[in-house]
Amino acid sequence: MHRIIAIAILVLAAMFSSARSEVLIGVSAAMTGRLAWIGEQGQRGAEMAVADVNAAGGVLGQKVRLISVDDFCDPEQAVAAAQKLVADGVVLVVGHYCSGASIPASKVYEEAGVVEISPGSTNPQLTEQGRGNVFRTIGRDDAQGFIAGNYLADRWGNKKIAILHDNSTYGKGLADETRKQLNKRGVTEAVYDAYTPGKDDYSAEVAALQTAGVSALYVGGYHAEVALIARAAHGRGYMVQLISGDALATEEFALIAGSAAEGTLFTFPADPRRNAGAAAIVEQFRVENFEPAGYTLLSYCAVQVWAQAVAKAGSLEPKAVIATLHEQEFDTVIGRVDFDDKGDLTRQSWVWYVWRGGEYVPVE
């Protein structure tokens, strides 16, 4: 009996030791539904980064394991996903992607002392809440909208401009920031309105814009609906210039829009695939037959900065890691990264892209 008890104790100790030798981190995004392509970018980026961290010895000698949770880009589901990840014992969450998911989930992470680094949430409110545990590896919509508003004013200031949005935290927020800067430039949009996301056809909305004589259309929303709007305009022979934001950085936009995608303009951070320092990592993805477009490398970067912060802090303790993230600089796949007191990047680089031949390229 004593031997059995002793063996049981040893087995339990070994199980506990094994569990403690793994560091759990999470990734949360829309893994299913209309935004699953963007969710896949985030998941693949985090997976590759974790594999590379582990190949280099892990963090503080411990292996990292990634847990993926689907938030459906929905506020309530995001909170449920956050609660699950916290219950699982993660110390970092890469995500969420939709601003409307990140903002409510951030409260859960703050209360649990979990670091949240979003590679895709651009609404300013995420970091304006004052939560010290929240960071992002992408810029903000007040900066993105400033650039878009100026672009519209400079090129279509003497023509009719329409601004549409999907009423989401991201879409409406970006549309409002764009409108704000456009108006500051002395230009008033001819149309400002919302559309219903999730529809199969936007012909009626496009017909109304054509009747109003709109020359340039700015859309704050996600790629699937913007693609359908482009198709509806193309089908009517309506040569409106379509312009949007970072959510168009997925090849699914071109797959849905088809030839109507040609010439569509949008803003996104400087493409990290073009960084010389990212070449080896980009090649790793391509060997696996996955193009690391859009948010993929921003997700990879989120894991990178956390792993480097843990190493610099010499600890997994949240307060130490958070302090290091705020105080240090990090060499990453997207370049040199450091964060301000709010958790935003100190350097934001929004760039104009155009869809040409089924891919997006920088505007020259």
pLDDT, tens digit, for every residue of 283-320? 999 999 999 999 999 999 999 999 999 999 999 999 99
Beta bridge pairs of residue 56 = none
Q: Which helix (H) or strand (E) holds 244?
A: strand 241-244
With a cut of 90, say whether residue 13 has pLDDT above it. no
Tokens 């990453």 found at: 332
Burial of 10 (0-12, 13-18, 19+ CB in 10 A): exposed
Average pLDDT over all residues of the chain: 94
Q: Please report the pLDDT score of residue 21 as a whole number.
A: 82
Do 137 and 309 form a contact (C-beta atoms < 8 A)?
no
Q: Compute the distance between CA of residue 128 and CA of residue 131 in angstroms, rounded to an integer.
A: 8
Do 156 and 132 form a contact (C-beta atoms < 8 A)?
no
Domain 23-139+274-338 identical in fold to domain 142-268: yes
Q: Please report the pLDDT score of residue 219 as a whole number.
A: 98
pLDDT digits (tens, 9 = 90+) for 254-285: 999 999 999 999 999 999 999 998 999 999 99
* Cis before 326? omega within 30: no
Q: Compute the distance between CA of residue 118 and CA of residue 33 in angstroms, rounded to an integer.
A: 20
In the chain, domain spans: 23-139+274-338, 142-268
Segment 332-352 mean pLDDT? 96
Q: Where are the beta strands (DSSP E) in 89-179?
A: 92-95, 115-118, 134-136, 161-165
Q: Compute the distance between CA of residue 253 and CA of residue 350 in angstroms, rounded to an integer.
A: 19
How many beta carbons lie within 10 A of that of residue 209, not counting itself? Answer: 24
Write the CB contacts of 364 (distance below 8 Å, at least 6 apart in sequence). none
Which DSSP category does 339 fall into?
Answer: B
3-state secondary structure of 217: strand
At the topology level of CATH, where does 23-139+274-338 sit?
Rossmann fold (3.40.50)
Q: Please report the pLDDT score of residue 20 as a whole number.
A: 53
Burial of 346 (0-12, 13-18, 19+ CB in 10 A): exposed
Identify the CATH assignment for 142-268 out of 3.30.930.10, 3.40.470.10, 3.40.50.2300, 2.30.30.100.
3.40.50.2300
pLDDT digits (tens, 9 = 90+) for 61-120: 999 999 999 999 999 999 999 999 999 999 999 999 999 999 999 999 999 999 999 999
Percentage, residues of the chain above pLDDT 70: 95
Q: Please report the pLDDT score of residue 201 as a whole number.
A: 97
Segment 163-189 mean pLDDT? 98
